[in-house]
């Protein structure tokens, strides 16, 4: 039997997906970041230097040491301004942390939710304490200790709980055009769901309601913002992007049509076939048989 194609990003991403957790020092990484699937992993960074962080509708201009919390469902970007930028990064899936019975939904955390506080100002004393926790996680992930995953989860929870005591950064600006920003966040979040890398990991956000819930806003507000800024409805954007991905999967993978439909969020092959025929005027099999 022919081996299925897995559309992966990098060896780093594959290792991260396998283990659900990765910690590393930024100064040891020449690019300060590593290529991974941002649609699946939460991120906590402890960094020292001058940077500008754009997160949802806020922009943070930070100089010094900060603790940053990134949610895979909220688009963000990071500009490094300093010539020297040091610190630590941990990446982890929600499933990795949920193995702890004490963990709550990360999406409801004051650090990870869209209206929350993703940036904390860190004193030198706090930096030294947090440095120790990040370094312990780096050491443990390389150890042979049988319960190291549980120990790492405890360190993550300790960072989160210690962070609740800290001062949120107030050095930020909110975008003036809220409607444009919401539309931009939606479009970036939509694109972040792709490409589909594994037939066993189906698309999670497939409707306007799903995106609104992920962004913690009312679906009517999302629909109005997207329509006003782009001229297209939220559903049209989602439909067009799923159709584009369907064509790519049909032409560039060896997954069968049922697997492709499932990967795109369709519970039954007939639902996928009907959707595809409505959007393209042809059936998936015809596209699959077309020479690329």
d(CA 274, CA 281): 10
Cβ-Cβ contacts under 8 Å for 47 (sequence gap 6 or more) = 26, 65, 66, 68, 85, 86, 87, 88
d(CA 228, CA 180): 8
Our measurement of the distance from residue 238's CA atom to the centroid of its chain's CA atoms, rounded to an integer in Å, reads 18
Give me the pLDDT at residue 101, please: 52
Residue 58 in this model has a pLDDT that exceeds 60: yes
Per-residue pLDDT of 105-122, as tens digits, reads: 565 677 876 667 788 989
Residue 7 in this model has a pLDDT that exceeds 60: no
- Percent of the chain exceeding pLDDT 70 equals 80
d(CA 54, CA 34): 18
Query: What are the beta bridge partners of residue 51?
Result: 62, 80
pTM above 0.75, yes or no: no
- The answer to whether 10 and 33 are in contact (CB under 8 A) is no
Per-residue pLDDT of 153-195, as tens digits, reads: 999 989 988 888 886 666 555 555 678 778 888 888 888 888 8
3-state secondary structure of 73: coil
Least confident of 44-58, 167-181, 233-247, 272-286: 167-181
Per-residue pLDDT of 255-275, as tens digits, reads: 999 999 999 999 999 999 999
d(CA 162, CA 10): 33
Our measurement of the distance from residue 49's CA atom to the centroid of its chain's CA atoms, rounded to an integer in Å, reads 24
Q: Tokens standing for 249?
A: 């999967």
Give me the pLDDT at residue 1, please: 35
Q: Tokens standing for 136?
A: 């312990």
Quickly state the pLDDT bin for 28 (edges 50, 70, 90): very low
What is the average pLDDT across 220-239?
A: 92
Q: Tokens standing for 231?
A: 């001229």
- The answer to whether 248 and 263 are in contact (CB under 8 A) is no
Give me the pLDDT at residue 201, please: 82
Q: How many CB atoms lie within 10 A of CB 184?
A: 19
Q: How many CB atoms lie within 10 A of CB 246?
A: 24
Residue with the larger pLDDT of the pair 143 and 217? 143
Q: Tokens standing for 46?
A: 């402890």
d(CA 286, CA 277): 10
């Amino acid at each position: 039997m022919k081996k299925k194609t897995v559309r992966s990003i990098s060896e780093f991403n594959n290792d991260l997906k396998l283990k659900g957790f990765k910690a590393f020092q930024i100064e040891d990484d020449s690019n300060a970041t590593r290529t991974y699937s941002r649609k699946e992993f939460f991120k906590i960074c402890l960094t020292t230097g001058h940077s500008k962080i754009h997160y949802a509708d806020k922009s943070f201009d930070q100089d010094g040491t900060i603790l940053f919390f990134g949610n895979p469902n909220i688009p963000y970007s990071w500009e490094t301004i300093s010539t020297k930028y040091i610190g630590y990064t941990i990446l982890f899936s929600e499933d990795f942390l949920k193995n702890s019975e004490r963990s709550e939904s990360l999406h409801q955390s004051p650090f990870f939710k869209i209206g929350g506080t993703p940036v904390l100002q860190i004193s030198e004393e706090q930096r030294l304490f947090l440095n120790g926790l990040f370094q312990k996680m780096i050491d443990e992930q390389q150890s042979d200790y049988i319960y190291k995953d549980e120990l790492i989860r405890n360190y993550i929870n300790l960072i989160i709980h210690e962070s609740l005591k800290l001062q949120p950064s107030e050095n930020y600006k909110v975008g003036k055009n809220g409607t444009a920003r919401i539309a931009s966040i939606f479009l970036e979040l939509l694109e972040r769901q792709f490409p589909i890398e594994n037939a066993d990991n189906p698309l999670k956000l497939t409707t306007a309601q799903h995106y609104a819930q992920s962004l913690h806003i009312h679906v009517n507000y999302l629909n109005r913002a997207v329509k006003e800024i782009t001229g297209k409805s939220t559903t049209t954007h989602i439909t067009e992007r799923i159709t584009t991905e369907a064509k790519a999967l049909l032409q560039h993978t060896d997954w069968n049509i049922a697997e492709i439909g499932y990967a795109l969020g369709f519970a039954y092959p007939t639902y996928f076939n009907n959707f595809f025929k409505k959007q393209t005027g042809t059936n998936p099999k015809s596209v699959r048989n077309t020479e690329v």
